Amino acid sequence: MGEGGSKPHHLGHRERLRERARTAGLAGLPDYELLELFLFRSQPQGDVKPVAKALLTRFGSLSAVLAASLEDLMSVKTEDSRGRRRGVGAETALDLAALHEVARRVALEEPQRRTVISSWSALLSYVRVALQHEPREQFRVLYLDKKNQLILDELQNRGTVDHAPVYPREVVRRALEVSASAIILVHNHPSGDPTPSRADIDMTRQVIEAGKLLNIAVHDHLVVGREGVASFKAMGLL
């Protein structure tokens, strides 16, 4: 109960927010209220607004919240309107991670239905969803058939905050295993700046040379950062 026997202000808030979402639509809700709707399910009692706002403050954006690791999510702690400690537990963290995986798979649907070349903007959207806020460097390869349709998006390696080891012969060997005719290399820069490094350029040339021996083409190398996506092809680096 609040002062003078009044009820805590968050009582009834959940149903009011749900009703507003139903009648006015989800698009009009600010990010923290969208997060609240998810938190209602994994935290069935108490005031979760401070938790939603703490998540956005900690990670900086809704997309960054969803891309955060389970460990980082569970480190977020705050206090509710009654001064009680609240935070993100294992169940809540898993719910948020699952939502990110849903977003990743939805973003991949259009590139899977059409040739990658004809759905290039959709591909760029997909790699941003998948890698833009990854805290560690990942190296992925998109394997394409003769029609430039996506056969497989495969994580080749995870690394540190600034390096993920890449083995050009392994990339090409895997292309042969899945009967790919071409590949697109993709990795992220957790620093946020997608500008290719000298090591990125040298590694790409090694993959291109390894691919030539077996008629595996490298269509592009995309470097993903919070500031955007850099294309080797667009930059004249291929």
For residue 164, the model assigns a pLDDT of 58
Query: What single letter denotes the amino acid at residue 192?
Result: G
Per-residue pLDDT, averaged over 144-172, amounts to 81
- The whole-angstrom distance between residue 163's C-alpha and the CA centroid of its chain comes to 18
Range in 14-18, 85-89, 143-147 the model is least confident about: 85-89
Smallest CA-to-CA distance from 174 within 158, 161, 157 is with 157
Fold annotation for 115-231: Cytidine Deaminase; domain 2 (3.40.140)
What does the mean pLDDT of the chain come to? 86
Residue 142, both tokens: 């998109």
| Architecture of the structural domain at 11-99 | Orthogonal Bundle (1.10)
Question: Which residues is 231 bridged to in the sheet?
Answer: 222
Amino acid identity of 171? Answer: V
Residue with tokens 């990942």: 138
pLDDT tens track for 162-204: 555 788 889 999 999 999 999 999 999 998 899 999 999 999 9
pLDDT of res. 28: 87
Cα separation values, 29 from 47, 64, 73, 160, 214, Å:
18, 18, 22, 36, 52
What are the extents of the domains in the chain? Answer: 11-99, 115-231
**C-alpha of 234 from chain center:** 23
Beta bridge partners of 221: 185
Q: What are the tokens at 133? A: 């806020």
Per-residue pLDDT of 98-138, as tens digits, reads 988 888 888 877 776 767 767 788 888 888 888 988 888 89
Which tens digit of pLDDT belongs to each residue from 1-28? 444 444 555 568 888 899 988 988 888 8
